[in-house]
C-alpha cells in the first residue's frame, strides 16, 4: 500500500491569495469596455495565468504604463493590480497619483503585508548615517521593490556566503561608523538567514536586525523539511521563477533522496514507486489548489489507487476534529441545524455559532445557507454531530490577525466582554485581548462602558504558540491624533481664527487647545491693559476666540492673539463719549495734584486738584475718597497720548449758574407782578 501526503501549508499563501482575490474581484466586476491589468505576472503559474488571461486580465510591462495612463486620460476605465511581491516605489507613487486624479482609474495594491513591512523597514532605516542590507535575490521583483524604498546606501546579498565575502572588503570596514540594519526577503531560507545573522553580528556592533521571513513561508519550509525526512519520494510543485518554490526544492533535497520539481500535473514523470513507499507533496505559494489536486489525482492513477473510492470511504464516517460543510435546515434562538449529507444531523449551539453574545442567530443564518464547522462530538445512537463553527472562523481569520501585527494594519471589531485587566474584542470571530491601560478608558471609568461598541485597534503582540493576540485602542487614537496634528501643521497660517479652550495658565500667558494642538496667548495679547497674571482675563476651561499671530512649524510653536480693536478700551471710550459729555466715574487713586477716575474699564481720566471743587482745597482727599462714584465733565481728550481731562468743578459752576439764573428769573417775575 502506497501513502501520499499533501503538506497542510501547500499552495497559495495569505499574500498571494489576497492579491489574486483582488484580481478575481476586478474581473468579476469588469464590463466589456473596461481594462484590467496586472503589473507583471500576478503569480508564477502558467495554468492560473492562462485562466485569468482568458477572462480579460492583461499583463503590463513598465514600458506599457505611459500608454495605459494616456488611455485613462482619454476616459478609458482601467484597473491595475499590484502583485503580492510589490512594485518599485516610483511606480507605486505614479499609479497612486493617477488614481487620486482620475476617477476612472482604480489601483488595487495587492502587496503582501509581510512585504509591505520590509518596505517600511527599508524606508525608516536608510538614508544619512544609515546602511540598509537585505538578504535576498537582487533580481527578484520583491527585492527590487524593497530596495527602491531605501534611501542612500542599500546592499543585497543572495546568501550568507556572499555576505561573508563582503564583510572582508574595505567598504564593509567603512560602514563601521554607520547604523547597520539588516532584513531578509520574505521567502528566504531560514537556515541562510540564521547564518547571515551570525556573520553580521561578528562584524558590526549592535546591528538592527529585523526578522522579516514570512511566518507562512517559515512554516511551509519547516513542514516540507519534516515531510521530506519521512518520505521516500517528494514532489515540489511550483514555477522555476518562484523564489519560495525553488527554496522548497532545495530544503527537501537536503532530507529526501528522490525529489521532483514540477510545474503542473502535465510535467509529472512516470515514477516507479516501490511497494509501501511514502510519497509527499508540497507546493509553492503561487500554486493554485486545483493544480495540487490534479497532481494528487494523477499520482494516484499512476499508483493504481482509486482516489474517488478512497475519498468516499473516508467520508462515510464522522470523527471529532473533522471539518464538514452542510446546508442550514433549521435556525432557532439557541442553535442551528445542518444537513451534512450523512445520516447524521449537525447541530451548532449558540456559543459555537458566534462569539458575539449580543448577536441573534436568526439574523446571522438562514435556511439554505452553507456553513463550514468542525466536528466536536458524534453520537451514532442519536444521529447527531455536535459542531463548532467558531473554531473554523477563528482559524480562517487568525492569519489576518498575524498579518495585521506584521503590517500595522488597523482592524475593527466589537468589544464583547469586560474581563479582569481589560476587555475582549471580537475581530472576525477571533477573540483578542486589550489591556485596560490600552483601551483609552480613564482609570476612574468602568470598562463595561465600552462593551458592545465597535472599536478600531492595532495588533501589538502575537503569541503564535497559543494563538493569542493583544491589541491597543490607544495606538489607533495616537495615530489618528498624529495624523490630525500633521494635517493641522500642514495647513496652519498667520491670520487663521479658532474657537479654542483655555487648557492651562502660566505666569506669562495662557495655552489654548486649538483642536489637538496648543497655541500660546502672551499676557500682552490677552488684554489692552497691563496685567500681572492671565487669570485676570481668562480661566482654565474658558472658550475663547483667538487668531494666529505667528507660526514656527519646525519648533511646533504657535503665537496667538486674543485682544482685538473692538476690545480696545480707548476705542470703547471714544465710541461712547466726546468732549463736553458728562460721565459717571469711579475714583481709583488720589495724588498730590488731583485724582484719577475710571471712565470705562481700562481708561482713567485726571481730575486736577483745581477741578475737584468750586473753591480752593489743600488736597484732593479733603473732598474725594477711593471708590467714590461721582459725575464729571470730560473737558479734553488727547487721542495721540490717550489722555482724558475731567472736571467736577465745571459741573458745580454750571449748576450754580443755573441756580442764579433761576433766582434772577423769579425776581423779575415778582417785579413784573407788582
So which residues are the catalytic ones?
142
Contacts of 497 (CB under 8 A, 6+ apart): 545, 546, 547, 548
Q: Which secondary-structure segment (H or E) carries 619?
A: none
Spatial distance between the Cα atoms of 603 and 614, rounded to a whole number of angstroms: 25
8 Å CB contact between 136 and 143: yes
Q: What is the phi-psi region of residue 76: left when phi exceeds 0, alpha when psi lies from -120 to 50, beta otherwise?
A: beta
Spatial distance between the Cα atoms of 134 and 140, rounded to a whole number of angstroms: 12
8 Å CB contact between 420 and 428: no
Q: What are phi and psi of 625, to 5 degrees?
A: -145, 150
Where would I find the H helices in 534-648? 569-576
Q: Nearest CA to 145 among 81, 92, 72, 70?
A: 92
DSSP 343-406: SSEEEEEHHHH-S-TT--HHHH--TT-EEEEEEEEEETTTTEEEEEHHHHHHHHHHHHHHHHHH
8 Å CB contact between 66 and 21: no
Spatial distance between the Cα atoms of 19 and 48, rounded to a whole number of angstroms: 13
Q: Which residues pair with 103 in a beta bridge?
A: none
- Cα angle, residue 527 at apex, residues 524 and 532 outer, rounded to 5°: 65
Spatial distance between the Cα atoms of 37 and 44, rounded to a whole number of angstroms: 16
Which grid cell is 636?
A: 479734553
Angle formed by the axes of helices 215-229 and 243-253, to 10°? 30
Spatial distance between the Cα atoms of 181 and 640, rounded to a whole number of angstroms: 68
Q: Which residues pair with 422 in a beta bridge?
A: 419, 435
Spatial distance between the Cα atoms of 520 and 502, rounded to a whole number of angstroms: 10
Spatial distance between the Cα atoms of 387 and 320, rounded to a whole number of angstroms: 9
How far, in Å, are 61, 111, 137 from residue 92 at the CA level?
Answer: 14, 10, 21
Contacts of 108 (CB under 8 A, 6+ apart): 22, 23, 26, 79, 80, 81, 82
Spatial distance between the Cα atoms of 211 and 213, rounded to a whole number of angstroms: 6
Spatial distance between the Cα atoms of 510 and 505, rounded to a whole number of angstroms: 5
8 Å CB contact between 326 and 345: no
| 3-state SS string for 88-101 | CHHHHHHHHHHHHH
Amino acid at each position: 500500500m502506497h501513502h501520499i501526503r499533501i503538506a497542510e501549508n501547500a499552495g497559495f499563501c495569505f499574500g498571494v491569495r489576497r492579491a489574486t482575490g483582488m484580481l478575481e474581484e476586478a474581473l468579476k466586476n469588469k464590463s466589456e469596455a473596461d481594462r484590467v491589468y496586472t503589473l507583471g505576472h500576478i503569480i508564477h503559474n502558467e495554468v492560473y495565468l492562462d485562466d485569468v488571461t482568458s477572462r480579460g486580465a492583461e499583463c503590463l510591462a513598465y514600458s506599457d504604463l505611459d500608454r495605459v495612463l494616456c488611455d485613462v486620460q482619454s476616459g478609458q476605465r482601467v484597473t491595475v493590480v499590484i502583485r503580492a511581491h510589490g512594485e518599485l516605489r516610483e511606480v507605486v507613487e505614479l499609479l497612486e497619483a493617477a488614481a487620486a486624479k482620475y476617477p476612472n482609474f482604480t489601483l488595487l495594491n495587492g502587496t503582501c503585508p509581510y512585504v509591505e513591512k520590509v518596505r517600511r523597514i527599508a524606508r525608516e532605516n536608510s538614508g544619512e548615517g544609515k546602511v540598509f542590507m537585505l538578504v535576498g535575490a537582487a533580481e527578484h521583483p520583491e527585492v527590487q521593490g524593497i530596495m527602491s524604498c531605501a534611501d542612500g546606501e542599500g546592499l543585497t546579498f543572495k546568501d550568507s556566503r556572499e555576505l561573508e565575502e563582503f564583510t572582508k572588503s574595505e567598504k564593509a570596514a567603512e560602514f563601521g561608523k554607520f547604523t547597520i540594519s539588516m532584513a531578509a526577503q520574505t521567502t528566504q531560507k531560514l537556515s541562510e538567514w540564521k547564518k547571515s545573522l551570525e556573520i553580521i553580528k561578528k562584524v558590526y556592533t549592535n546591528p538592527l536586525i529585523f526578522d522579516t521571513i514570512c511566518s507562512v513561508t517559515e512554516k511551509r519550509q519547516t513542514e516540507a523539511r519534516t515531510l521530506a525526512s519521512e518520505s521516500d519520494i517528494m514532489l515540489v510543485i511550483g514555477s522555476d521563477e518562484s523564489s519560495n518554490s525553488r527554496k522548497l526544492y532545495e530544503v527537501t533535497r537536503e532530507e529526501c533522496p528522490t525529489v521532483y520539481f514540477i510545474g503542473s500535473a502535465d510535467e509529472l514523470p512516470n515514477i516507479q514507486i516501490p511497494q509501501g513507499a511514502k510519497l509527499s507533496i508540497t507546493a509553492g505559494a503561487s500554486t493554485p489548489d486545483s493544480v495540487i489536486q490534479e497532481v494528487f489525482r494523477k499520482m494516484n492513477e499512476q499508483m493504481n489507487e482509486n482516489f474517488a473510492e478512497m475519498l468516499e470511504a473516508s467520508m462515510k464516517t464522522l470523527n471529532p476534529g473533522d471539518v464538514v460543510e452542510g446546508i442550514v435546515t433549521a435556525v432557532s434562538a439557541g442553535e442551528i441545524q445542518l444537513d451534512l449529507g450523512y445520516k447524521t444531523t449537525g447541530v451548532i449551539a449558540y456559543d459555537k455559532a458566534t462569539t458575539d453574545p449580543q448577536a441573534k442567530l436568526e439574523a446571522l443564518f438562514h435556511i439554505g445557507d452553507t456553513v463550514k464547522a468542525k466536528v466536536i462530538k458524534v453520537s451514532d445512537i442519536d444521529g447527531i454531530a455536535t459542531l463548532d463553527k467558531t473554531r473554523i472562523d477563528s482559524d480562517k481569520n487568525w492569519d489576518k490577525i498575524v498579518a495585521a501585527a506584521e503590517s500595522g494594519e488597523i482592524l475593527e471589531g466589537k468589544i464583547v466582554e469586560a474581563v479582569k485587566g481589560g476587555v475582549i474584542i471580537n475581530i472576525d470571530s477571533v477573540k483578542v485581548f486589550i489591556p485596560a491601560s490600552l483601551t483609552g478608558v480613564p482609570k476612574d471609568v468602568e470598562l463595561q462602558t465600552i462593551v458592545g461598541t465597535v472599536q478600531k485597534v492595532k495588533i501589538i503582540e502575537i503569541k503564535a504558540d497559543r494563538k493569542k493576540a493583544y491589541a491597543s485602542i490607544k495606538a489607533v487614537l495616537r495615530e489618528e491624533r498624529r495624523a490630525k496634528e500633521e494635517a493641522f501643521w500642514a495647513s496652519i497660517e498667520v491670520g487663521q481664527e479658532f474657537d479654542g479652550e483655555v487648557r492651562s495658565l502660566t505666569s506669562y500667558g495662557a495655552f489654548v487647545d486649538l483642536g489637538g494642538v496648543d497655541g500660546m496667548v502672551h499676557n500682552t495679547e490677552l488684554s489692552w491693559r497691563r496685567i500681572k497674571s492671565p487669570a485676570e482675563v481668562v480661566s482654565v476651561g474658558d472658550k475663547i476666540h483667538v487668531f494666529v499671530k505667528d507660526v514656527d512649524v519646525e519648533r511646533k510653536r504657535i503665537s496667538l492673539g486674543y485682544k482685538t480693536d473692538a476690545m480696545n478700551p480707548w476705542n470703547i471710550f471714544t465710541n461712547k463719549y466726546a468732549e463736553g459729555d458728562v460721565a459717571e466715574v469711579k475714583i481709583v487713586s488720589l495724588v498730590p495734584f488731583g485724582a484719577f477716575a475710571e471712565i470705562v474699564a481700562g481708561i482713567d481720566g485726571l481730575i486736577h486738584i483745581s477741578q475737584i471743587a468750586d473753591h480752593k482745597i489743600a488736597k484732593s482727599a479733603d473732598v474725594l475718597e477711593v471708590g467714590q462714584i461721582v459725575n464729571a465733565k470730560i473737558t479734553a481728550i488727547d487721542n495721540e497720548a490717550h489722555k482724558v481731562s475731567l472736571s467736577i468743578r465745571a459741573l458745580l459752576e454750571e449748576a450754580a449758574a443755573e441756580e442764579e439764573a433761576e433766582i434772577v428769573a423769579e425776581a423779575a417775575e415778582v417785579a413784573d407782578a407788582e
